[in-house]
Chain A
Amino acid sequence: KAGVTQTPRYLIKTRGQQVTLSCSPISGHRSVSWYQQTPGQGLQFLFEYFSETQRNKGNFPGRFSGRQFSNSRSEMNVSTLELGDSALYLCASSLDQRDTQYFGPGTRLTVL
């Protein structure tokens, strides 16, 4: 079974721009969660989607948004990029809540 895939793997943007990251979950997994990893903060939960609905949301500003499609693929969007948004963005999928989450390789975003 193919694992979680994320595209693109690397991205460089400038301040003020917006970015869209994509995540394809493991086949059959309906829950997709997004995390931000930075050196000092570890992994911080962004949001979780299940059946195209956002079920949980972390403490991030409204510039961070996401969505999930009917095939469970998910996208996250960050608008008006700031330098502090530079991070590794990880997507994880699971069958449902409380099931083991399987992570993709992440998208490394650099904001200049």
Chain B
Amino acid sequence: DQQVKQNSPSLSVQEGRISILNCDYTNSMFDYFLWYKKYPAEGPTFLISISSIKDKNEDGRFTVFLNKSAKHLSLHIVPSQPGDSAVYFCAASAGVGFGNEKLTFGTGTRLTIIP
């Protein structure tokens, strides 16, 4: 039962353009969402998060959008740079006290930035 889904296993984007990575979830109890970036042979690195009380959070070139009614979130990277080439994981957690504080991850999207 994949509660967090990243339906695009890979994405290629021209350098300087916008990269949009998508994530869908099914568990309506999820109220906190994160994006992690992973290079080969390294652990995931935290990028940006968003709480369900917001619909947008921005940090430099990275913006996360949350559409609660559609149970969908997306990560926008503008402008895309070669160093952004990595695997991106979407993760979600439910409220404290529901026993689901653990992170549930999607299967990842491999982003390749083409110079």
Contacts and interface: CB of A to CB of B under 8 A. Distances in A.
Interface in A95-112: 97-98, 100-106
Contacts of A83: none
Q: Classify the interface of chain A: helix, strand, loop or mixed.
A: strand
A42 B108 contact: yes
Nearest to B101: A97
A92 B103 CA distance: 11
B101 A56 contact: yes
Interface residues on B, range: 20 to 34
Given A42-B107, A43-B89, A56-B101, A97 B96 contact: yes
Nearest to B1: A59
Nearest to A102: B46
Interface of B: 32, 34, 36, 41-46, 49, 89, 91, 93, 96, 99-108
14 contacts: A33-B102, A40-B107, A42-B106, A42-B107, A44-B105, A56-B102, A97-B96, A98-B96, A100-B49, A101-B46, A101-B103, A103-B43, A104-B43, A105-B42
Given A33-B103, A42-B107, A100-B34, 16 more contacts: A33-B102, A40-B107, A41-B107, A43-B89, A45-B103, A48-B101, A48-B102, A90-B43, A92-B43, A97-B101, A98-B93, A101-B46, A103-B36, A103-B44, A105-B42, A105-B43
